[in-house]
Structure 1
Amino acid sequence: MLYQEKHRPQFHFTPKENWINDPNGLVYYEGEYHLFYQRNPHTNDHADMHWGHATSTDLYHWEEHGIALAPDELGTIFSGSAVVDKNNTSGLFESDTGGLVAIFTHDGESQQQSIAYSEDKGRTWTKYEGNPVIPNTKIKDFRDPKVSWHEDSKQWVMVLACGDHIQFYGSPNLIDWTYLSSFGKEYPSHIGVWECPDLLYLPVEGSSQKEWVLIVSINADGPNGGSAVYYFTGSFDGKEFHPNEKSEDALKWADAGKDFYAAVSWDNTEDTYWIGWMNNWQYAGVVPVSPWRSGMSLVRKMSLYEKDGNLLLKQEPIVRDSSKEVTSYQDVTIQAGTTESYDISDTAQIDLQVSKASDSTKWGVKFVTDQDEAFQLVIDNQASMYTFYRTEGIIDFSEDFPEEVKGSLHGLNVQDLTAIVDRSSVELFLNGGLTVSTNLIYPKGTVTKLEIFAVNDALKVDNVSWTSLHSIWK
Structure 2
Amino acid sequence: MRAAAEVDPAAARPRIHFTPQANWMNDPNGLIFHDGLYHLYFQYNPLGADHGNMSWGHATSADLVSWREHPVALLFDEHEQVFSGSMVSDAGNTSGLGTAEHPPLVAVYTSARRDGLQAQSLAVSLDGGYTWEKYAGNPVLDRGSADFRDPKVFRYAGADDAYWVMVAVEAAERRVLFYRSDDLLSWTYLSDYGPAGAVGGVWECPDLFPLPYVSGAGSAAGVRWVLLVSLYPGGVAGGSATQYVVGEFDGIRFVPDVAHPCVDADAAELDGLDWVDLGPDCYAGVTFAGLPTGQRTLIAWMSNWDYAKRVPTSPWRGAMTMARRLALRCVEGRARLVSTPVLGREAGVLEGVPAGGSVDDVLPEAARIDLEVDGAAMAEVRLGDAERCVVVTVSGAERFVRVDRRRAVFEDVSDAQGVQRAALPAGAVQRVTIVVDNGSVEVFAGEGLVAVTALTSLPPAPGLHLTATGAVRLGVAELGDSGLRGAGLGGSGS
Shared fold (TM-score, shorter chain, > 0.5): yes
Would the aligned equivalents of 2:328 and 2:338 in 1 still touch at CA under 8 Å?
A: yes
Q: Within 2, Cα distance between the matches of 1:213 and 1:472?
A: 36
Q: Give the match for residue 104 of structure 2.
A: 99
Q: What secondary structure sits across from 1:122 in the alignment?
A: coil
Q: What secondary structure sits across from 2:309 in the alignment?
A: helix
Q: Within 1, Cα distance between the matches of 2:246 and 2:364?
A: 39
CA drift at 1:219: 1.0
Would the aligned equivalents of 1:26 and 1:33 in 2 still touch at CA under 8 Å?
A: yes
Q: Do residues 379 (structure 1) and 358 (structure 2) align?
A: no
Q: Give the match for residue 161 of structure 1.
A: 169
Q: Do residues 279 (structure 1) and 303 (structure 2) align?
A: yes
Would the aligned equivalents of 1:257 and 1:407 in 2 still touch at CA under 8 Å?
A: no
Q: Give the match for residue 253 of structure 1.
A: 275
Q: Does 387-396 or 170-179 show the bigger shift?
A: 387-396
* AA partner of residue 201 (structure 1): P
Q: From the superposition, tell whether residues 151 and 202 of structure 1 become closer, same or farther in structure 2 (CA, over 3 Å).
A: same
Q: From the superposition, tell whether residues 195 and 411 of structure 1 become closer, same or farther in structure 2 (CA, over 3 Å).
A: farther
Q: Does 112-121 or 63-72 show the bigger shift?
A: 63-72
Q: Within 2, Cα distance between the matches of 1:400 and 1:32?
A: 40
Q: Does 196-205 or 271-280 show the bigger shift?
A: 196-205
CA drift at 1:405: 2.2
Would the aligned equivalents of 1:196 and 1:217 in 2 still touch at CA under 8 Å?
A: yes
* AA partner of residue 168 (structure 2): L
Q: Within 2, Cα distance between the matches of 1:413 and 1:224?
A: 29
Q: From the superposition, tell whether residues 31 and 327 of structure 1 become closer, same or farther in structure 2 (CA, over 3 Å).
A: closer
Q: Give the match for residue 331 of structure 1.
A: 352
Q: 1:267 aligns with which of 289, 304, 311?
A: 289
Q: Do residues 142 (structure 1) and 148 (structure 2) align?
A: yes
CA drift at 1:96: 4.5
Q: Give the match for residue 492 of structure 2.
A: none
Q: Give the match for residue 207 of structure 1.
A: 219
Q: Within 2, Cα distance between the matches of 1:207 and 1:105?
A: 41
* AA partner of residue 266 (structure 1): F
Would the aligned equivalents of 1:156 and 1:171 in 2 still touch at CA under 8 Å?
A: yes
Q: From the superposition, tell whether residues 388 and 155 of structure 1 become closer, same or farther in structure 2 (CA, over 3 Å).
A: same
* AA partner of residue 136 (structure 2): E
Q: Within 2, Cα distance between the matches of 1:158 and 1:410?
A: 36
Q: Do residues 37 (structure 1) and 48 (structure 2) align?
A: no
Note the residue ranges of structure 2 that are not aligned, 5 or more in a row. Answer: 1-7, 262-268, 486-494
Q: From the superposition, tell whether residues 398 and 460 of structure 1 become closer, same or farther in structure 2 (CA, over 3 Å).
A: closer
Q: Within 2, Cα distance between the matches of 1:387 and 1:414?
A: 17
Q: What secondary structure sits across from 1:65 in the alignment?
A: strand
Write out aligned runs for 1:14-413 (5 A): 14-108=19-113, 109=115, 110-137=117-144, 139-152=145-158, 153-163=161-171, 164-185=174-195, 187-205=196-214, 206-208=218-220, 209-248=222-261, 251-270=273-292, 271-321=295-345, 328-335=349-356, 339-355=358-374, 357-358=375-376, 362-369=378-385, 372-380=387-395, 384-396=399-411, 403-409=418-424
CA drift at 1:189: 2.2
Would the aligned equivalents of 1:157 and 1:168 in 2 still touch at CA under 8 Å?
A: yes
* AA partner of residue 231 (structure 2): I
* AA partner of residue 256 (structure 1): L
Would the aligned equivalents of 2:102 and 2:126 in 1 still touch at CA under 8 Å?
A: no
Q: Within 1, Cα distance between the matches of 2:236 and 2:314?
A: 29
Q: List per-residue Cα deviations over 1:256-293 (Å, max 9, x = no partner).
A: 01100000000011211110000000000001111100
CA drift at 1:382: 6.4
Q: Give the match for residue 429 of structure 1.
A: 444
Q: Within 1, Cα distance between the matches of 2:204 and 2:256?
A: 18
Q: Within 1, Cα distance between the matches of 2:334 and 2:426?
A: 12
Q: Does 297-306 or 198-207 show the bigger shift?
A: 198-207
Q: List per-residue Cα deviations over 1:92-136 (Å, max 9, x = no partner).
A: 103355120000000012000001110001111111111000012
Q: What secondary structure sits across from 2:352 in the alignment?
A: strand
Q: Do residues 460 (structure 1) and 471 (structure 2) align?
A: yes
Would the aligned equivalents of 2:9 and 2:460 in 1 still touch at CA under 8 Å?
A: no
Q: Does 326-335 or 372-381 show the bigger shift?
A: 326-335
Q: What secondary structure sits across from 2:74 in the alignment?
A: coil
CA drift at 1:445: 6.5
Q: Give the match for residue 431 of structure 2.
A: 416
Q: Within 2, Cα distance between the matches of 1:55 and 1:347?
A: 21
Q: From the superposition, tell whether residues 344 and 63 of structure 1 become closer, same or farther in structure 2 (CA, over 3 Å).
A: same
Q: What secondary structure sits across from 1:120 in the alignment?
A: coil
Note the residue ranges of structure 1 that are not aligned, 5 or more in a row. Answer: none
Would the aligned equivalents of 1:257 and 1:406 in 2 still touch at CA under 8 Å?
A: no
* AA partner of residue 473 (structure 1): L
Would the aligned equivalents of 1:282 and 1:400 in 2 still touch at CA under 8 Å?
A: no
Q: From the superposition, tell whether residues 414 and 438 of structure 1 become closer, same or farther in structure 2 (CA, over 3 Å).
A: farther
Q: Within 1, Cα distance between the matches of 2:138 and 2:378?
A: 57
Would the aligned equivalents of 1:78 and 1:107 in 2 still touch at CA under 8 Å?
A: yes
Q: From the superposition, tell whether residues 449 and 314 of structure 1 become closer, same or farther in structure 2 (CA, over 3 Å).
A: same
Q: Within 2, Cα distance between the matches of 1:199 and 1:56?
A: 24
Q: What secondary structure sits across from 2:142 in the alignment?
A: coil
Q: Within 1, Cα distance between the matches of 2:245 and 2:384?
A: 37
Q: Within 1, Cα distance between the matches of 2:258 and 2:393?
A: 29
Q: How many residues align?
A: 456
Q: List per-residue Cα deviations over 1:294-342 (Å, max 9, x = no partner).
A: 11000111111111211111111111259xxx8645333323xx64434
Would the aligned equivalents of 2:191 and 2:252 in 1 still touch at CA under 8 Å?
A: yes
* AA partner of residue 239 (structure 1): I
* AA partner of residue 365 (structure 2): D
Q: Sequence identity of aligned pairs in percent? A: 38
Higher RCO, Cα 8 Å, sep 6+: 2
Q: Within 2, Cα distance between the matches of 1:76 and 1:400?
A: 36
Q: List per-residue Cα deviations over 1:168-197 (Å, max 9, x = no partner).
A: 011111111000001012x13222000000
Q: From the superposition, tell whether residues 327 and 383 of structure 1 become closer, same or farther in structure 2 (CA, over 3 Å).
A: closer
Q: CA RMSD in A?
A: 2.3
* AA partner of residue 137 (structure 2): G
